[in-house]
């Protein structure tokens, strides 16, 4: 069995995080079997590379390997693409055609974006997985095939099952061996290593010196959530390699070339666990706001203490609040005709003497956050973004840091049409 380090070197994989190594070790161990594998992970994490690793380490490595993007094939032709068709089966079928399960017999088929596969095609695929049998479109003859299936999805298939968009029996048939590839934000420690690797690769490709990032620039990239994962990081390093005159890259250079890196976005939803990821990030936002409010309170107290100012006592403040409430209840004409109420117990300006705040008294003060509905916050952010961009969903989705598909789903959910 090949070692993990050797496989990384052979396929150009970069990463040392524990989660990434676990996924790779699972792929290496399952390669020698004929078990069906389901690879999950966000777009851009390298699911196809893992399928190629499994095929190259299997007994089928000398036979054909084909990668099929189920989301890129029109619904009306996917059955023909996978299983073939007979002449005259439909308009345009001028001759017999072999499908992938016939041409790749003895090899491996990688079915990417399996969640996009139509329901009728799922039934045909289930039959292939269970018995190795399939029927060409327009034919009544059953044929046999010996193909290993590796499927991949960047969405939560269990949610698709609940919504009636994916067969439960097919899910469990595909999920014989699950492999989850962590996203880049789940393996932050690998970002500096990936940066160095991409910088060297592009320096060789463009016959120039390799770029280097200072510590502030690295810290900025490590804080960015990378919704496009490795693909997005690679594109950024290529841009920096080509567009930057100075090979020592600082944070300002990154902002000039890719200003979205510092933009405050709506949290990008993890397609593998939408609700949980969203709530975690929003809760973090609320806790950060609480911390900022606490810092502001401390600043005000320091200003009061440093300028030797007087703070009204609690009784006076409560009395003033009560009188303000009474004023609000009065008729406006009556209010203007009356005198401004005096604050009970409040000394005159001449009588006021500077005091020093009691630190212990105010250190015990707690900041209480008002209740904030997370869904209302998200709805308002989406509404404002759509308004800023004149209803153009593509630009709004880019600003919010989410996919157009997710934005469309949120628009329908919150009735923002």
pLDDT recorded at residue 36: 96
Mean pLDDT rounded to a whole number for the chain = 82
In a 13 Å sphere around the CA of 117, the CA atoms on its Cβ side amount to 28
DSSP secondary structure string, 327-384?
A: HHHS-HHHHHHSPPPPPTTPPPTTT-------HHHHHT----PPP--HHHHHHHHHHH
Element (H, E) at 54: helix 47-56
Query: Does position 356 have pLDDT exceeding 80, yes or no?
Result: no
Q: Bridge partners of 109?
A: 66, 149
Nearest CA to 312 among 304, 323, 369?
304
79/414: higher pLDDT: 79
* pLDDT for 333 beyond 60: no
pLDDT bucket at 237, cuts 50 / 70 / 90: very high
State yes or no: pLDDT of 194 exceeds 90: yes
- The answer to whether residue 343 scores a pLDDT higher than 70 is no
Q: In this predicted structure, what is the pLDDT of residue 164?
A: 94
Domains of the chain: 4-88+96-182 (3.40.50.300), 185-262 (1.10.8.60), 266-329+353-417 (no CATH)
Average pLDDT for residues 364-369, to the nearest whole number? 45
Do the strands 177-180 and 37-40 form a parallel or antiparallel pair, or are they unpaired?
parallel
72 touches 29 (CB < 8 A): no
Percent of the chain with pLDDT over 90: 54
| pLDDT at 225 > cutoff 60 | yes
**Mean per-residue pLDDT, 379-400:** 84
pLDDT at 161 over 90: yes
Provide mean pLDDT across the span 391-409: 83
Q: How many CA atoms lie within 13 A of 186 on its CB side?
A: 16
Give Cα separations from 315 to 85, 192, 201, 372 (angstroms). 87, 58, 70, 30
Alpha-carbon gap, residue 17 to 25, rounded angstroms: 12
For the ranges 179-193, 275-289, 340-354, the one whose mean pLDDT is highest: 179-193
Please classify residue 155 by burial: count the beta carbons closer than 10 Å to its beta carbon, then call 0-12 exposed, 13-18 middle and 19+ buried. Answer: buried
Asked whether the predicted pLDDT for residue 1 surpasses 60, the reply is no
Residue 55 has pLDDT above 80, yes or no: yes
**What is the predicted pLDDT for the residue at 352?**
47
Q: Is the dihedral of CA 135, 141, 147, 148 positive or negative?
A: positive
Residues 6+ apart with CB under 8 A from 234: 194, 198
pLDDT at res. 416:
81
Q: What is the pLDDT of residue 341?
A: 46
Residue 124 has pLDDT above 50, yes or no: yes
d(CA 361, CA 123): 70
pLDDT computed for residue 342 by the predictor: 46
């Amino acid at each position: 069995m090949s070692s993990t380090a050797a496989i990384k070197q052979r396929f150009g994989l970069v990463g040392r995080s524990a989660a990434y190594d676990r996924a790779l070790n699972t792929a290496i161990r399952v390669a020698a079997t004929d078990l069906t594998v389901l690879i999950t992970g966000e777009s851009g994490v390298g699911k196809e590379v893992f399928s190629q690793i499994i095929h190259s380490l299997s007994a089928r490595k000398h036979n054909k390997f084909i990668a099929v993007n189920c989301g890129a094939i029109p619904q009306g032709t996917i059955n023909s693409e996978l299983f073939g068709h007979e002449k005259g089966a439909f308009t345009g079928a001028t001759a017999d055609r072999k499908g992938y399960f016939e041409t790749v017999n003895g090899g491996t088929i990688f079915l990417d974006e399996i969640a996009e596969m139509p329901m009728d095609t799922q039934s045909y695929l289930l039959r292939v997985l269970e018995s190795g049998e399939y029927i060409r479109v327009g034919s009544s003859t059953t044929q046999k095939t010996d193909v290993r299936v590796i499927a991949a999805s960047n969405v939560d298939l269990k949610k698709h099952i609940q919504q009636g968009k994916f067969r439960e029996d097919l899910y469990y048939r595909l999920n014989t061996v699950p492999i989850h590839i962590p996203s880049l934000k789940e393996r932050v420690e690998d970002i500096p290593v990936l940066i160095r690797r991409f910088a060297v690769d592009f320096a060789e490709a463009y016959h120039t010196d390799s770029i280097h990032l200072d510590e502030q620039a690295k810290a900025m990239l490590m804080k960015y959530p990378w919704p496009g994962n490795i693909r997005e990081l690679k594109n950024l390093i290529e841009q920096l390699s080509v567009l930057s005159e100075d090979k020592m890259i600082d944070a300002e250079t990154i902002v000039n070339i890719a200003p979205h890196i510092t933009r405050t976005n709506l949290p990008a939803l993890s397609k593998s666990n939408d609700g949980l990821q969203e709530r975690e990030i929003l809760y973090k936002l609320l806790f950060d706001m609480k911390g900022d409010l606490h810092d502001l309170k401390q600043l005000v107290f320091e200003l009061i203490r440093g300028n030797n100012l007087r703070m009204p006592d609690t009784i006076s403040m409560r009395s003033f609040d009560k009188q303000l409430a009474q004023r609000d209840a009065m008729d406006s004409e009556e209010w203007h005709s009356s005198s401004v109420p005096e604050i009970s117990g409040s000394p005159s300006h001449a009588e006021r003497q500077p005091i020093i705040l009691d630190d212990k008294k105010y250190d015990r003060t707690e900041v209480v956050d008002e209740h904030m509905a997370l869904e209302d916050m998200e709805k308002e952010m989406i509404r404002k973004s759509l308004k800023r961009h004149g209803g153009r969903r593509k630009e709004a989705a880019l600003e919010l840091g989410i996919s157009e598909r997710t934005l469309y789903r949120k628009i329908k959910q919150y009735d923002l049409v």
